[in-house]
Amino acid sequence: MGLRFSKMHGLGNDFVIVDCRARPLALDVQAIRTLGDRHFGVGFDQLLTIERARDARCAFAYGVWNADGSPARQCGNGVRCVARWLVRDGALAASGPQQLESPSGPIAVELLADGRVRADMGEPRFAPSAIPLLAERERDRYDIDVVGNDLEIGAVSIGNPHAVVVVDDVAAAPVEALGPQIEHADAFPERCNVGFVERRSRNAVRLRVWERGVGETLACGSGACAAVAVLRKRGEVDNEVAVALPGGTLDIRWSGPGETLWMTGPATFVFEGEWHG
């Protein structure tokens, strides 16, 4: 018998979702890579597993694996898809906030009347040790070495590490060339996701993201949160920002330090399947 799965996406950031509430995922790194291959498998940016919660405060837990088989600590677009999957399954209430257990801790989600999902992504963490980033002290801007060149970035953890690069024109940003170089820069001991952000106004930005272990994706929920958090901390955007990604727009709200950050966006079912790998 094959592996039953659901295919979903959040603004084109696509996922294979596997129900692991009855038994744990029985795939090694190579099998995850094969399943994620868009020619020899099903294809995905991340694999998501739905599991029994270990934290008594949470209804369910979920796991995240990148297309290269590496584990991830958070996935903003993914948690919205997990929430919609659980609501469709009848396992989660269709209204009101619910708690899910992510690999980086509890996260509140709520299905809205228009079908979108709102998620509490927690308070952004800027301390270098929390990201982690090799730096002596917390700054709004860091100069890091990238293959022998100094590059200015912002850095933050949204449950996973992010570097944020401000650009004049996101369409012309060297995402494929610079993204992997920053991801593997010595300053980030656990690698990082890399966002290239263009500020259009105090309430609107454009963003492209090179995701750790995946490459450039059509959308990255935690990347959108990271970009807004870095710009908001610098005083360059207001507390509500529309983030336009190649796959669509996410609405991010963050009032600033001491407050949690909220992300709102769609989660879409594509098809159900069974993989015989």
- Quick one: average pLDDT of 223-234? 98
Q: Is the pLDDT of residue 154 over 80?
A: yes
Q: Are 177 and 165 in contact (CB under 8 A)?
A: no
Among the options 58, 192, 220, 225, which is catalytic? 220
Domains held by the chain: number: 2
Q: Is the pLDDT of residue 240 over 80?
A: yes
Distinct helix (H) and strand (E) counts, the chain: 4, 18
Residues 250 and 271 reside in one and the same domain: no
Q: Which domain holds residue 10?
A: 3-120+266-275
Residues 145 and 189 reside in one and the same domain: yes
Identify the DSSP state of 30.
H
Identify the DSSP state of 114.
T
As a whole-number percent, the residues of the chain with pLDDT over 70 amount to 100
Residues 86 and 12 reside in one and the same domain: yes
In whole angstroms, give the CA distance from residue 130 to residue 123. Answer: 12
Residues 175 and 101 reside in one and the same domain: no
Residues 135 and 246 reside in one and the same domain: yes
- Give the closest residue to 58 by CA, choosing from 4, 23, 103, 15: 103
pLDDT number for residue 95: 86
Does the active-site annotation cover 220?
A: yes
Residues 254 and 149 reside in one and the same domain: yes
Among the options 75, 81, 192, 225, which is catalytic? 75
In whole angstroms, give the CA distance from residue 109 to residue 82. Answer: 10
Does the active-site annotation cover 75?
A: yes
Average pLDDT, the chain: 97
Q: What angle do CA 126, 122, 182 make, to 5 degrees?
A: 45
Residues 138 and 216 reside in one and the same domain: yes
Residues 203 and 245 reside in one and the same domain: yes
**pLDDT (tens digit per residue) in 46-64:** 999 999 999 999 999 999 9
**pLDDT (tens digit per residue) in 248-261:** 999 999 999 999 99
Residues 233 and 137 reside in one and the same domain: yes
Residues 160 and 250 reside in one and the same domain: yes
> Tokens for 269?
């079912």
Q: Is the pLDDT of residue 133 over 90?
A: yes
- Return the CATH number at 7: 3.10.310.10
**pLDDT (tens digit per residue) in 69-94:** 999 999 999 999 999 999 999 999 98
As a whole-number percent, the residues of the chain with pLDDT over 90 amount to 98
**pLDDT (tens digit per residue) in 177-220:** 999 999 999 999 999 999 999 999 999 999 999 999 999 999 99
Q: Is the pLDDT of residue 241 over 90?
A: yes
Residues 167 and 91 reside in one and the same domain: no
Residues 253 and 271 reside in one and the same domain: no
